[in-house]
């Protein structure tokens, strides 16, 4: 099955939990980084109390590879 460009873009978006698991930090830490503007995220419309975010896989890869100039605050 061939993926369309739109489907491919969605697979490149990761949840807070997925990012936290990969970076071995708590979900709250990832949310804090997003809220502080330290980590770029896509903000999704929400109806719940908690804001929903998605983070691009390329952002996580850049952090893991040390190619991003992000200074993460623990």
Q: Buried b / exposed e across 12-48, counting CB within 10 Å, b at 16+?
A: eebebebbbebbeeeeebbbbbbeeeebebeeeeeee
Say what the pTM is.
0.74
**Straight-line distance from the first to the last Cα atom of the chain, in angstroms, rounded to the nearest whole number:** 42
The per-residue pLDDT string of the chain (74 residues; one tens digit each, 9 = 90 and over) reads: 444 454 455 579 999 999 999 999 999 999 999 999 989 999 998 887 888 999 999 999 988 988 766 665 55
CATH of 5-65, one of 1.20.58, 1.10.1660, 1.10.3470, 3.30.43: 1.10.1660
Q: Nearest-CA neighbor of 30 among 62, 52, 8, 9?
A: 52
- Predicted pLDDT of residue 50: 82
């Amino acid at each position: 099955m061939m993926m369309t460009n739109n489907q491919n873009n969605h697979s490149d978006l990761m949840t807070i939990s997925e990012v936290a698991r990969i970076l071995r930090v708590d979900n709250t830490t990832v949310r804090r980084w997003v809220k502080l503007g330290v980590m770029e995220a896509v903000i999704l419309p929400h109806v719940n109390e908690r804001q929903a975010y998605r983070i691009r896989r390329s952002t996580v890869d850049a952090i893991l590879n040390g190619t991003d100039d992000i200074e993460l605050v623990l």
